Amino acid sequence: MEKFVIHGGKPLKGEVTISGAKNAAVALVAATILCDEPCVLENVPEISDITICMKILQTMGADIQLLNKNVVRFDTRGIINPHVPYEMARSMRASSYFLGTLLGRFHDAYVAMPGGCDLGDRPIDQHLKAFRSLGAVDELKNGEVHCYADQLIGSQIYFDFNTVGGTINAILASVKAKGRTIIENAAKEPHIVDLANFLNSMGADIRGAGTDVIKIKGVDYLKGITYPIIPDQIEAGTYMVAAAATKGDVLVKNVIPKHLESITAKLRKIGVTVEENDESVRVSVDGALTKTSIKTMPHPGFPTDMQPQFSTLLTLAEGTSIVTDDIFDNRFRYVAELRRMGADISVDGKVAVIEGVGKLNGAPVVATDLRAGAAMVIAGLAAEGITEVSDIHYIERGYECIEKKLQMLGADIKRVTVTEVGSVQMSG
């Protein structure tokens, strides 16, 4: 078991380079199944969710080669069995994308009900609704979803509410369907646009990604290409908040500032200085931080994946902040951990009331999920004293080399292997 040990209270200073976007990468790696030739993805983040996606492909018969750091060649032509190994599928939410890609290629897919971070109930009814609109049948047997069709026929898909995963799966299943598909009430996240750009570069005909109506004309063949994955807006936002929480001065490089607009706007509201350049943002703090209100919304609104990090920052701001997050049932589980560090937060359902306390004190805490884990690291960096963050495997799902990037910014953070009770070993 590993944990992070952080000696807090040091302002982060310097430059950090953002990796490829996790939530784009999981979709694009799964989408390689639809490609009729080998293809190459650049800017592939080295994170455990991607390792699992690649293992799934390899286990099914794909040939995957690491050409360079973060550059991977995928040849999925060897896949003949449309069956994702059960335990692998269970371990991550994005395994549901294999339903869309396998259905798109084989008209047949077996994938265990997806798992991932425990943010409450995470059904896939909208994904299945999209597949059914295209003519597929689904059944649940022994914990696995089996979707199949003689032929997928383009159709109108209307989502009952905003769903990122549902929109991605609808695109994946319909890109090679016969005829025209119209997805209405589609999600607009940058990774949906990235997926459409990737597929269009291969020869797909997808229009309107990034708006709430996406139109797709099915094609028969997708050719091999080389494609760079977009930078991770949430990783960027996390370093921006870490810079602010430690009253540091950090240049966050390899970002698309447009994707960070809602994050930048809230940081400025709190009193943080954010300078935007073409492909970087510089974050610094001069004076005191002040309260604000946040309500998470689908893109281009404020992302739920930044809520725990911002709530942590707001514990350090003057005044009472209100944070509402109703995208998932259970996104305030980290609050109990933050309270161990002296935070004054009360939660009533989907609303947190945060009384600024000015400073946090180091404590042993647990990462309860990926973004909660990032929030604990930020809290530890800003706190006085020592913070130990355990269950860091959640953090590794989505942050490439987080402790190394933070060390480069001057943070005192170490990965420690706990070999037995009371005995720890430094692992750099």
Catalytic residues: 117
Q: Which of 10, 83, 93, 247 binds ligand EPU (CB under 6 A)?
A: 93
Q: Is 98 in the site for ligand EPU (CB under 6 A)?
A: no
User: Which one of 117-125, 134-142, 204-212, 347-355 is the stretch in contact with ligand EPU (CB under 6 A)?
Assistant: 117-125
Eight-state DSSP code of residue 29: H
| Residue 320 identity (one-letter amino acid) | T
Q: Is 48 in the site for ligand EPU (CB under 6 A)?
A: no
Q: Is 94 in the site for ligand EPU (CB under 6 A)?
A: yes
Strands (E), 297-362: 320-324, 344-348, 351-355
Considering the complex, state which of residue 24 and residue 35 has its C-beta at the smaller distance from ligand EPU: 24
User: Which one of 81-89, 298-306, 377-385, 399-407 is the stretch in contact with ligand EPU (CB under 6 A)?
Assistant: 298-306
Q: Which of 41, 79, 89, 164 binds ligand EPU (CB under 6 A)?
A: 164
Q: Is 371 in the site for ligand EPU (CB under 6 A)?
A: yes
Question: What backbone torsions phi and psi does residue 89 show, to the nearest 5 degrees?
Answer: -65, -40
Eight-state DSSP code of residue 180: E
Distance CA 239, CA 221 (A): 40
Q: Is 349 in the site for ligand EPU (CB under 6 A)?
A: no
Q: Which of 98, 328, 334, 399 binds ligand EPU (CB under 6 A)?
A: 328
User: What is the per-residue DSSP string for 90-147?
Assistant: HT-GGGGHHHHHHHHHHSEEEEEPP--S-SS----HHHHHHHHHTT-EEEEETTEEEE
Q: Is 37 in the site for ligand EPU (CB under 6 A)?
A: no
Distance CA 95, CA 86 (A): 10
Residue number, nearest CB to ligand EPU: 165
Contacts of 396 (CB under 8 A, 6+ apart): 47, 48, 402
Distance CA 300, CA 306 (A): 13
Considering the complex, state which of residue 10 and residue 334 has its C-beta at the smaller distance from ligand EPU: 334
CB of 52 vs ligand EPU, minimal distance in Å: 12
Considering the complex, state which of residue 264 and residue 296 has its C-beta at the smaller distance from ligand EPU: 296
Cβ count within 10 A of residue 141? 8
- Residues making contact with ligand EPU (CB under 6 A): 22-23, 26, 93-94, 117, 122-127, 163-166, 187, 303-305, 327-328, 370-371, 398
